[in-house]
Amino acid sequence: MKLSIYGSGCAKCQTLAKNAEAAGQALGLEYEIEKVTDMNQIIDAGIMRTPALMVDDDILVEGKVATPDEIRLMLS
């Protein structure tokens, strides 16, 4: 499973990445974290607001920092 974090690398983006990792670990998933900071790639992915979380090819979170529990529910 690929967890992609889209954003500038700000504190909110870093928190979303940590929360996504915590959710993946809580569920015992095999995953890889990718951080995308290039604006052109963010736009090409269809992201309009950051931070955003994409799992494989599905945007699960956009424009907010989801908690580990919220992400865990989305992944299960």
Give per-residue pLDDT as tens, 22-76: 999 999 999 999 999 999 999 999 999 999 999 999 999 999 999 999 999 999 8
Q: Residue 62 belongs to a domain with what CATH number?
A: 3.40.30.10
Least Cα distance to 33 among 41, 22, 45, 44 occurs for 22
Give yes or no for residue 21 having a pLDDT over 90. Answer: yes
| b (16+ CB within 10 A) / e for 30-40 | ebeeeebeeee
Structural domain span for residue 32? 2-75
Total domains in the fold of the chain: 1
Query: CA–CA separation, 62 vs 48, rounded Å?
Result: 8
Taking a C-beta distance cutoff of 8 angstroms, is the pair 28, 57 a contact?
no
Six-digit token string for 67: 């908690």
Give per-residue pLDDT as tens, 2-14: 999 999 999 999 9
Per-residue confidence (pLDDT) for residue 76, from 0 to 100: 87
Which residues participate in catalysis according to the annotation? 10, 13
